[in-house]
Amino acid sequence: MKIKYLLITFLVLTIILAGCSKENDSNKNAKTKNEENEKQVLHVAAAASLTDATKDLEKAFKDEHSNVDVTFNYGGSGALRQQIEKGAPVDVFMSANEKDVDALVDKNHAQNTYEYAKNKLVLIGGKDSDYKSVTDIKDGDKLAIGETKSVPAGKYAEQYLKSNDLFDSVKAHLVYAKDVRQVLNYVEKGNAQMGYVYQTDLYQSQQNGNSKVKEINTAELQNPIVYKSATITDDKLAKEWIDFLKTDKAKAIMKKYKFEV
């Protein structure tokens, strides 16, 4: 009887232990599956002029990376570079120039650089204005440009004005903006009569069919406006984003928004 009791006890314990083991394996498999499906986040610091294009780039990137959330921080390239230097959480930097990326490379803050687009600088005015040139500026008028220390478009505008002996004549009329989108906003709202923005910003403004601005002329620069990108972290996703920018799909999106690639 005692032996029979011990055998029954042993069998019950075996069944209980087997159930626990199965439950542990199930929990382990579920945990592994959850880890695989866990959302990853890619932090991209991008020039303000990329606000619209990057939304389409994100959608195309997520076609192949469904478990990735891409977050963007927009601003002037110089300001973004300074944030990166101070340790801001950034995986990829998409600048509107070469200088700010190169400065980060020199300080070992960036790698895997890629020149992904080109742009043009244009002078804009109100759609009903009769201005033909920046030389038509009148008393009380304002000419908006980006902050020259942090906004590449502002620096390009200043260089253009100086190289064409126009800077001194418009200096008193200048108002500075934190990025090109703010320049566009100033002219659209009549806070400035003219302003220098990228060709792509003007194009995007005109897509709503009720644009309040128009192109006056294109600023002929000595050197092309080159947009450059780089990885800031060694995260695998950061490199994959740079590789994605090299694809035909990404280039088609940039062309859609009137960037040259």
Q: Which residues are annotated as a binding site for molybdate?
A: 49, 77, 153, 180, 198
Helix axes 199-206, 180-188, angle to 10 degrees: 50
Q: Which residue matches tokens 């780089």?
A: 230
Rounded (10°) CA dihedral 42, 47, 53, 58 = 0
Amino acid code (one letter) for 153: A
Half-sphere exposure at residue 139, Cβ-oriented, CA atoms within 13 angstroms: 0
Contact predicate 169/106, CB 8 Å: no
Q: What residues form the annotated binding site?
A: 49, 77, 153, 180, 198
What gap in Å lies between CA 104 and CA 206, rounded to an integer? 35
